[in-house]
Amino acid sequence: MINGLLLGGVLALLSLGLNLVFGVIDVVWICYAELIMLGMYGMYFLYTVYHAPIVLAAAVCIVSVGVLGLVLHTLVIAPLLGAAPINQLLATGGVLFFLQSAATVLFGIEFKNLGLRLPVLKVAGMFVSYSRLLAFGAALIAMVLVYLLLTRTYTGTAIRAIAQDRQIMPLMGVDTRRIYLITSGLGGALAGLAACLLVLQYDVHPFVGLTFGPITFLICVLGSLGNFGGGFVAAFVFAEIISVGGLYLDLEWGYVFAFAFFIVMMFVRPEGLMARRS
Amino acid sequence: MTRYLPWVAGAALVALPFVYRSPYPLHILIVILIWSFAYTSWSVMGRFGLVSLGHGGFMGVGAYVTALVWNYGHLSPWVGVPLAVAASAALAALVAYPCFRFRITGHYFALVTLALSGIVLQVITATRDYTGGSLGYTPERYQGGSSLWAFQFSDKTTWYLIALVVWAAGLFIWNRVDRSMLRYALEAISEDEDAAAATGVHVTAEKLKITVLSATMTALAGALYCQYQMFISPDTVSGISVSLQMVFAVVVGGIYVSLGPTIGAVITILLAEILRIGFGTRAVGWDNLVYGVLLILFIIFLPKGIVGSLMDLSRRWRWTSS
């Protein structure tokens, strides 16, 4: 249970940035997990190969994945904003292929890890992984920060307004392009943050994105797009299903149950778990 | 002249293995034909905006059920393949019916089907005691090598002809759908579901028909692939990357024309082979790198694909010259 709770923190962190992009620009970055993969490689090279201090490495990693988000938006998404949603999904699918194989070509297919093992805490007779606790905390803090940004600042208000109606906002004198860029950069930076914390507990390899990519989308959809609270709850529901299923059977069965749960939930509540009934 | 062109081309394709029987190019052709059929199956529904990422799952069911029935049930693929196809069609109906009933469309549909191919992949991996898991699985060889009962042939020419017939059947189905009322109904649905329903189109039933048809064909492609290669693994016949690969090839070739998926298969498979021969093991990853860039460029600049754009060009040219 506790392990599931902490896995939930990791998943919530993963889905945070995607939720922002998905909810605001309404584009499925199917390559989102690959951005995280690149961030993890960034951490690996900065920390393990070039021996940069870990905090500096994390900062560089967050900023550079944020820049990647900007580049992705400008090169791929911007020309397709008017196209059918499915074309945007497919184009980012192309980015997924590209990033995955670029990583294969550049870094090889070996599993790499940071070579840094964080201690395991013992709380009331239970063993709690420190890195998972860290991810959990970071997810919580990042979520609160994003929430404050969206509700307390002018830019945040503009972002939420665009999420509601993207045709009307240019008429109100909002530079939508700038808002899209800010959102993409922010989404990328959150992917970078997720990468920094994931690399503490998982090995990195070019196909690591495929292992948690799909589950990230399902969390965003299940928690209602752009709804961070919903995303958080969905992440924990998924994590519990995966870890409890994995406890009694195999880990794969945990995923099977999680996917099946998603499909059933889509039929029961197509708007997501936390949607308000209109 | 153009009326006879398909027949001439068909005759040439049938005659090919009897004139030219070098095994390696023939192998490449067989693989291209099988995948062309799979891609055609996807485009049968994909062209109506029903973008499914679950086809990797259907293909996996087709391949694995056939192999498991042969190995454990000791039943001929003549029984196993219909079983596999039926299982895949049932799976498609099971997931697609509620999807269409509750109007899950666009990228929500893509994500639900994505979860479906995730399920199939994970089930294959989880039941590794029976399916070999991610290490792959081999149907048992029939002692004589070739046998119609076991549907195993050591001769490449036989396989080429089988693949050719199945591929041609796929094109035939594509064209039948293209000329049917179903097509008009589905095009209306993809434009506006409410308006289509108001004019008397049974939205759920029509969508379900095309989905089950497409899943059936895809499962057949999976079974054929399994019988030809005699080795299947979750990565090559099921899962999300196979689904994406189908979408990619169809988009590159052209989603709205019957030969589009075939051209897509020719391009992607030849590209992979050329890179593999040219660069050997150093080429690992390069083919997907090129695919990825091509996919992005095609979606942005040539959303109709190669064949579709060429047809547009020739039409425009004829227009201006007459």
Q: Which residue, among B66, B88, B82, B73, has the nearest Cα to B225 in the 3D structure? A: B66
Q: Please indicate if any CB of chain A lies within 8 Å of the CB of B300.
A: yes
Interface size A-B, in CB pairs within 8 Å, comes to 138
| Chain B residues near residue A252 by CB distance under 8 angstroms | 122-123, 125-126
* Amino acid A87: pLDDT: 76
Answer whether residue B322 shows pLDDT above 60: no
A94 and B122 in contact by Cβ < 8 A?
no
Structure tokens at B239: 């899962």
* pLDDT for residue B287: 74
Distance from the Cα of A108 to chain B's closest Cα (Å) equals 9
**Burial track B277-314 (b if 16+ CB lie within 10 A, e otherwise):** eeeeeebbbbbbbbbbbbbbebbbebbbbbbbbebeee
Q: Under an 8 A CB cutoff, do B99 and A260 touch?
A: no
Question: Hey, what amino acid is at B36?
Answer: S
Nearest to A260 among B103, B119, B291 (CB): B119
| A135: Cβ contacts below 8 Å, ≥ 6 apart | A6, A9, A10, A13, A197, A198, A200, A201
Q: Which residues contact A8 (CB under 8 A, 6 or more apart)?
A: A136, A235, A236, A238, A239, A240
Q: Measured between CA atoms, how close is B134 to chain A, in angstroms?
A: 12
B227 pLDDT more than 80 = yes
Q: What is the pLDDT of residue A278?
A: 39
Model pLDDT, residue B282: 67
Select the residue of B108, B112, B289 nearest A101 (Cβ to Cβ): B289
Residue B161 Cα, gap to closest chain A Cα (Å): 33
With cut-offs at 50, 70 and 90, classify the pLDDT of residue A277. very low
Contact A249 B126 (CB under 8 A): yes
Chain B contact present for A55, CB below 8 A: no
% of chain B with per-residue pLDDT over 90: 21
Whole-number pLDDT of residue A123: 63
Contact present, B156 and B17 (Cβ < 8 Å):
yes
Partner-chain residue, chosen from B49, B295, B300, that has the shortest CB–CB distance to A86 = B49
pLDDT-derived band of residue B260, with 50, 70 and 90 as boundaries? Answer: confident
CA-to-CA distance for A78 and A47, rounded, in angstroms?
34
- Looking at residue A273, what is its pLDDT? 62
**Whether A253 and B126 lie within 8 Å, measured CB to CB:** yes
Q: Is the pLDDT of residue A132 over 70?
A: yes
Q: Give pLDDT, residue B158.
A: 86
Please give the Cα distance from B36 to B160 (Å, whole number): 13
Tell me, what's the pLDDT at A120?
64
Partner A contacted by B51 (CB < 8 A)? yes
Q: Residue B296 corresponds to which amino acid?
A: I
Contact B295 A101 (CB under 8 A): no
Contact B86, B72 (CB under 8 A): no
Do B299 and A100 make contact, defined as CB atoms within 8 angstroms? Answer: no
Interchain pair B51, A250: CB under 8 A? no
Amino acid at the residue B68: L
From A191, A133, A151, A208, select the one nearest A16 (Cα to Cα).
A191
Tens of pLDDT, residues B75-103:
888 888 999 999 999 999 988 888 888 88
Quote the pTM value: 0.83
Question: Can you tell me the distance from the alpha carbon of A33 to that of B243, in angstroms, rounded to the nearest whole number?
Answer: 17
In A, residues 231-260, which contact B (CB 8 Å cutoff)? 249-250, 252-253, 255-256, 259-260
Q: Identify the weakest region by mean pLDDT among A129-133, B22-26, B131-135, B257-261.
A: A129-133
Residue A129, H or E segment: strand A126-129
Question: What are the structure tokens assigned to B43, written together?
Answer: 């485009």
Q: Is A239 helix (H, G, I), strand (E, B) or coil?
A: helix
Give the distance from residue B3's alpha carbon to the nearest chain A alpha carbon, in angstroms. Answer: 34
A276 pLDDT exceeds 60?
no
Average pLDDT, chain B: 84
For B193-215, what is each residue's pLDDT tens digit?
888 888 888 888 989 999 999 99
Neighbours of B181 (CB within 10 A): 9
The reported pLDDT for the residue numbered B36 is: 93
pLDDT of residue B218: 93
Question: Rounded to an integer, what distance in angstroms lies between the CA atom of residue A47 and that of residue A51?
Answer: 5
Mean pLDDT of B107-129: 84
Residue B5 or B58, more confident: B58
Q: Give chain A positions within 8 Å (CB) of B287.
A: 101
Task: Give the count of beta carbons closer than 10 Å to the beta carbon of residue B96.
Answer: 27
ipTM beyond cut 0.90: no
Q: What is the pLDDT of residue A117?
A: 62
DSSP secondary structure of B153-182: -S-HHHHHHHHHHHHHHHHHHHHHHHTSHH
Q: Do B285 and A260 touch (CB under 8 A)?
A: no
Distances (CA, A) of B35 to B32, B164, B228: 5, 11, 12
Residue among B122, B126, B299 whose CB faces A91 most closely: B299
Residue B38: pLDDT over 70: yes
Question: Residue B2 — very low, low, confident or very high, per pLDDT cuts 50/70/90?
Answer: low
B244 part of contact set with chain A, CB < 8 Å? yes
Q: Does A180 touch chain B (CB under 8 A)?
A: no
Pairwise CA distance, residues A203 & A44, whole Å:
10
CB contact under 8 A, A93 and B293: no
The pLDDT of residue B89: 93
Interface of A with B in 115-174 (CB under 8 A): none
What is the percentage of chain B residues whose pLDDT exceeds 70? 96
Nearest to A100 among B101, B106, B288 (CB): B288
Q: Name the B residues in 6-35 with CB < 8 Å from any A CB.
A: none
For residue A212, the chain B residue with the least C-alpha distance is B118
Interface test with A, best of B122, B250, B281 (most A CBs within 10 A): B122
H or E element, residue A123 = strand A120-123
Q: Does B248 reach chain A within 8 Å, measured CB to CB?
A: yes
Cα(B94)–Cα(B113) distance, integer angstroms: 11
pLDDT band for position A116 (50/70/90)?
low
CB contact under 8 A, A267 and B99: yes
Query: 3-state class of A121 per DSSP?
Result: strand
Residue B216: predicted pLDDT: 93
The answer to whether the Cβ–Cβ distance between A97 and B291 falls below 8 Å is yes
Residue A58 to chain B, least CA–CA distance (Å): 27
Q: Which member of B103, B106, B241 has the closest CB to residue A210?
A: B241
Work out the number of other CB atoms within 10 angstroms of the CB of residue B221: 31
Q: Is B287 on the interface with A (CB under 8 A)?
A: yes
Listed by start position, the domains of chain A span 10-207
Residue B86 CB contacts under 8 Å (≥ 6 apart), including other chains: none
pLDDT tens sequence across B120-166: 888 888 888 888 777 888 888 777 667 777 777 778 888 889 999 99
User: Per 3-state DSSP, what percentage of chain A is helix, strand, and coil (rounded to 5)?
Assistant: 75, 5, 20
Tell how strand A126-129 and strand A120-123 pair up: antiparallel
